[in-house]
Amino acid sequence: MKEEPKIVSIGPIDLTNSVPAQEPNLDDLPVVSLRETVLFPGVTFPIDITRDSTAATINEASAKGIPIGVFCQIDPNDNNPTVSGLHKYGVVAVVVKVFELPDGSKVAVCVGQEKIVITGEGAGSTISGTLSVKAKPVKETNPRVTDKEFAVMVAQIRDITMNIIKQDQEQHRDMIFNLENVDSPTVMINIIATHSTFPVDDEIAMLRKARVKDRAVYLLTLLSQSEQIAELKAEIMRKTRRNLEDHQRNMILQHQFDALREELYGDENDAEELSAKAEELDMPEDVKKRFDKEVEKLRRLNPQSPDYSVQYSYLQTLTELPWGKKSNLNTDFSKAEEVLNADHYGLEKVKERILEQLAVMMNNPNGRSPIVCLVGAPGVGKTSLGQSIARALGRDYQRVSLGGLHDEAEIRGHRRTYLGAMPGRIIDAIRRAGSSNPVLLLDEIDKTGSDYKGDPSAALLEVLDPEQNVHFHDNYIDVDYDLSQVLFIATANTLQTIPQPLVDRMEIIDISGYLLEEKVEIARRHLIPRIALQNGFEADYFDFPPETITKIVESYTSESGVRQLEKMLAKVVRQIILRKMRGQDFSATVAPDGVQEYLGVERYTPERYEVTNIPGVAVGLAWTQAGGEILFIESGFTQGKGEKLTITGNLGDVMKESAVIAMQVVKARAAKYGVEPEWFDTRQLHIHVPEGAIPKDGPSAGITMCTSILSAMTGKPVRSRLAMTGEITLRGKVLPVGGIKEKILAAKRAGITDIVLCENNRKDISEIRPIYLEGLTFRYVTTIDDVFDIALEK
């Protein structure tokens, strides 16, 4: 790219001993081509001799006084241009002097004469072996002496040129002298046009002008632009010089300030230490700028002032955040599955759902991490599942407790203007984790509240939204932090207290609870070894047979998880240790009949099936937070006027409605079983569900109520060891219900052998391990008539 336009000049030249020039042969004119330079008529100009062809032409022309044609070549990088590679317009010039410079290079001084234009190629006979052209002269028209406009224009050209070259007078002293002593306006214009480094296209355009006045107008325009550029450059240089002076002044003051600080407070330099830490971090550009600005503030503060410690704590927090640091993730899916199975027994569906998510994340490590919410009763292993997921993925793990939060600042952080300000719990957990892609467990997300300090759940909307948490803004650090690589796992006991927008942002995984058989295995594999180690024994020191653990689960706990079970087992171990310390007889093996000796009177009595031939008693199956249970439903008719239905047993609204529907279903089929409709006019029905202190609700006892009512009405008892579960409609259709796995295991424990289910629940049975189904017979029904045919004794 060509430099910005400027004026160049040459010094005085000795023209003595020059050979007189001949008349130019325009039919065969030798050519010298110039790079990015255009020679105008009447101008003396030095030509560097750098090419062999140029040297041959110049030497012979100088020796014999042969005029040459000087043209500017189109491509400055072409070392051997042809006639087609030259601009058409040039000048006839005479070589007046060739001299050698101190560095060994040669320069030819040429004087331009008349303007010419190329008409074709020459024969090359004037100077053998050189490029030559055919040309014709181009006449130029000079302005009249009385043209005042031209005179003013020439004066402006002279003034602007002098203004430009005076900015570097040492380099252009000869040029200033020439301009001040040139009498001809035309020559002055041509000198300035030749020696100014304007773009070649502009110089050729000026040379083509036949009228000198038009050339002056063109030149004045270019010089005006050059003057503006020169003034702008000068202003930039002045500002740069002024800024350098200010910078040097600040540097001197800073050195003096550092010397005073070192004299007063020693050679400790917190700012330098923090800056060195920041250099090792991969901070985003905007964070880096903010950090440097805050470090400068720290340097200006007195270390003894309170503001210094606040500023230092802030900068220290920024350097402790894991900018750009990531954990080395586990890519072995089989290992991840092994970790999950080793840490948790049972929960097959839950683990399958988690493994699906882990497979997706391992397949695309750079994808956005999902927001998982584990919902279940206390003690089912939600928190430990979060830890296992972190281990399976090879990520760092941190727990964030949200229970009881009422202040939004606990999530977003406090502004530094407040006394005792600190970052929010999310950023603090990231800092403790030490990586940008940890697993953060948001524990008890359903137990946040809101008051005048704000709503933490609203702040969590940004944290748990993959579209927003890329630029999570904590009020304390006051810069954006990318949370998109963090795997958030929330835990909750219920979804009822979580705002719906927050629920929509999470993948809900329901953990219903453990079966009795699963609790026994969990105790044997995890709880008992852990309790033994905590109390200073080997992991396998204590022996709890499965029957003993079953006794503890059924008689001393009532829960979905294993938290109470762990407490009971720990109590048994403490009792054994107490006996050991007292020197009494003790055994590390706990037999079922010895449990009461350690734990006292049984707290719960497991429901067992009672063989009875009394009509009106049917066995249903129920699901509770503690697992499955069998449910006895008793119906009886008494003499009384008018149809009346009494329901007792602490039933909920849904269960009461099921009783009403059951009454209508049986009444509609009474004639089929030999009972006239008028029979109900003198009878009153009472339905009772034992254990009235325990609330009961749900539609799954519908077919059990129908069977109980029909049994009481006909006097036929229900078949022994038969239980049932299913919802009933007014048309007598049986609908499927949930909790089948828990209900079936409860029936098996109670001694039930036959179970009646809706046909649509058949698929649930196929998902249960065969070992749990041994000894059970399943009967699938679609209508209440099918139930009656199976349930009532013939």
* Active site residues per annotation: 700, 743
**What letter would DSSP give residue 733?**
B
Where are the strands (E) in 122-242, listed by range?
Answer: 132-137
d(C-alpha 465, C-alpha 457), whole Å: 12
CA angle 565, 737, 761 (to 5 degrees): 105
Helices within 370-437 (DSSP H only): 382-393, 409-412, 425-433
Helices 285-300 and 270-279 cross at an angle (nearest 10°) of 170
Cβ atoms < 10 Å from Cβ of 118: 21
d(C-alpha 165, C-alpha 178), whole Å: 12
Nearest to 780 by CA among 767, 793, 762, 764: 762
| Three-state secondary structure readout of 560-618 | CCCHHHHHHHHHHHHHHHHHHHHCCCCCCECCHHHHHHHHCCCCCCCCCCCCCCCCCEE
Cβ atoms < 10 Å from Cβ of 284: 14
* 788 Cβ contact list (under 8 Å, min separation 6): 669, 706, 707, 710
- In angstroms, the first-to-last Cα distance of the chain is 109
How far lies 16's CA from each of 19, 57, 182, in Å?
9, 21, 22
Output phi, psi for 449, to 5 deg: -130, -175
CB 514 within 8 A of CB 561: yes
| Coil, helix or strand at residue 635 | strand
CB 423 within 8 A of CB 411: no
Burial of 577 (0-12, 13-18, 19+ CB in 10 A): middle
Nearest to 371 by CA among 492, 247, 286: 492
| Coil, helix or strand at residue 722 | strand
Distance, C-alpha 669 to centroid of its chain: 64
d(C-alpha 24, C-alpha 67), whole Å: 5
d(C-alpha 691, C-alpha 650), whole Å: 8
d(C-alpha 311, C-alpha 294), whole Å: 8
CB 612 within 8 A of CB 717: yes
How far lies 584's CA from each of 440, 527, 575, 579, in Å?
48, 26, 11, 5
CB 691 within 8 A of CB 624: no
**The total number of residues written for the chain in this structure:** 794
* 244 Cβ contact list (under 8 Å, min separation 6): none
d(C-alpha 458, C-alpha 472), whole Å: 14
Residue type, 786: D
d(C-alpha 386, C-alpha 439), whole Å: 8
d(C-alpha 408, C-alpha 423), whole Å: 12
d(C-alpha 335, C-alpha 328), whole Å: 15
Residue 31 parent element (H or E)? strand 29-34
- CB crowding 291-312: b at 16 or more within 10 Å, else e: beebbeebbebeeeeeebebbb
CB 413 within 8 A of CB 475: yes
Rg (the chain; Cα; Å): 51
